[in-house]
Structure 1
Amino acid sequence: MVFIATLIIQFWLQATYARYSRIANSRDLTGAEVAKAILDAYGLQNVRVEPTPGALTDHYDPTTKTVRLSEPNYASPSAAALAVAAHEVGHAIQDAKGYAPLRIRHAILPVANLGSTLGPWIFIIGLFMNATGLMSIGIWLFAAAALFQLITLPVEFDASSRALVNLRKMNFLSPGEMGGARAVLTAAAMTYVAALANSLAQILYYVSIVQGRREE
């Protein structure tokens, strides 16, 4: 059920993004222009804005202080592009202000990556060896990835909130266009909720297997 819900949310995001990618903002500003303007308004001229290949590959890199916008969003004047650009700049603002959840997320990223990669494999190896201890290690490693996803939620919701405030306050989007930006960011946020729900469901499934083996 969770897997199906995740697929539906992914489809919703793609459909929403595609819809508002075809609607240009009334000021004909590109995602890159809006990102740079917001950064300048916050005195963050040290943060670079660069294009990156792919679609919806947009992200902020705190290690290099770089907002990377997917090539379509970097050059596009669409409402969707502006929403995504303002969202990624929201992460740069979080970084500059020392937003605690962002720092925690960045700190546990290596462990989370290790857990998401090795955790399931260690669990499977333990399953075949009938080693519940090894299975438990796999669960704890995978739980680190779920913890990362949990901390990601406030980070992403806060960045979207900052994006909408800045787009409205700086008049980058008209009141009528703000609805499209909000729809894109809401759909994107729900993908993180779905990812966390999927991970928690997987952890519960693993735990139920371990408990079953211990009761045998």
Structure 2
Amino acid sequence: MFFHPMDFLIFIAFGLSLWAQLKVKGNFEQWSRVESMIGMTGAQVARRILDENNLEHIPVRPVPGKLTDHYDPIAREVRLSEPVYYGTSIASVSVAAHEVGHAIQHKEGYSALVLRHKLFPLVNFSSGAAPLLLILGFVFQWASLIGLGILLFSVAVAFQLITLPVEFNASSRAKKLMLSTGILRNGEETGVNKVLGAAALTYVAAALISVLELTKYIMIFASSDED
């Protein structure tokens, strides 16, 4: 269980994940030093796009930390980290528009987002239970526990895969909305693409790691079944 040929691929995927995280921080810091031509803060950009999409009731609030930006579908709030909320850089307006993209997805009932929300409670349980069941199952050779562990882990993997179209779609919406509202000016798309593209890569890497780990567990289970 602990040393398997798939571990080499998983190790490479972890390397990709670390590189993606460094790229996110690097691109954010680089484009945080480039002021947007329109001069609006991330909070103002978010408010403008929300209002123009009939989402006046969605508040935009600052939250502590860096890269802690998110849309809360339960409270129905856009929450921006302080550097994004108060910043007027390309990085700030890009991240703000991306989070608003999620709010618009919610309003329109974007199918992948709806499915992701429905899976969330189950994922919270399965993410904690699956590793324990797999360890116990492999240690004591209980096929039923291994099978249940793999099933629960599959839910977490499905969640990661569903997250990909949600994030890519939000970024696509953000760019289109910023262009249509005049928030982006000539040449600024390059910075937006780099900031949002690097963030998307972290989700790709996380999904790849999950898929490879699931494949590893299935292969071990299948080989032990044959024995």
What residue identity is the alignment partner of 2:116? R
Does residue 186 (structure 1) correspond to residue 197 (structure 2)? The answer is yes
Q: Is the 8 A contact 1:10 1:191 kept in 2?
A: yes
What residue identity is the alignment partner of 2:33? R
**SS of the residue aligned with 1:176?**
coil
Question: Post-superposition shift, 1:212?
Answer: 2.3
Partner Cα distance (1:214, 1:98) in 2:
43
Partner Cα distance (1:141, 1:72) in 2:
37
2:9 corresponds to: none
- 1:4-19 mapped onto 2 (5 Å cutoff): 4-19=15-30
- 1:77-96 mapped onto 2 (5 Å cutoff): 77-96=88-107
Question: Which 4+ stretches in 1 moved above 2 angstroms?
Answer: none
Partner Cα distance (2:63, 2:135) in 1:
36
Partner Cα distance (1:53, 1:122) in 2:
36
For residue 222 of structure 2, the aligned residue among 186, 191, 211 is: 211
TM-score, with length taken from structure 2: 0.92
1:167 corresponds to: 178
- 1:195-210 mapped onto 2 (5 Å cutoff): 195-210=206-221
**SS of the residue aligned with 1:51?**
strand
What residue identity is the alignment partner of 1:149? Q
- 1:111-122 mapped onto 2 (5 Å cutoff): 111-122=122-133
Partner Cα distance (1:175, 1:166) in 2:
15
Partner Cα distance (1:111, 1:160) in 2:
26
Q: Is the 8 A contact 1:168 1:175 kept in 2?
A: no
Aligned residues: 216
**SS of the residue aligned with 1:55?**
coil
**SS of the residue aligned with 2:187?**
helix
TM-score, with length taken from structure 1: 0.97
Partner Cα distance (2:52, 2:147) in 1:
49
Question: Post-superposition shift, 1:23?
Answer: 1.0
**SS of the residue aligned with 2:56?**
coil
The gaps in structure 1 that reach 5 residues or longer are none
Percentage identity across paired residues of the two chains: 44
What residue identity is the alignment partner of 1:116? S
2:160 corresponds to: 149
Does residue 107 (structure 1) correspond to residue 108 (structure 2)? The answer is no
Does residue 72 (structure 1) correspond to residue 83 (structure 2)? The answer is yes
Deviations 1:142-186 (A, max 9, x none): 110111111111111111011001111111121211210111111
For residue 145 of structure 2, the aligned residue among 128, 131, 134 is: 134
Does residue 158 (structure 1) correspond to residue 158 (structure 2)? The answer is no
Question: Post-superposition shift, 1:215?
Answer: 2.3
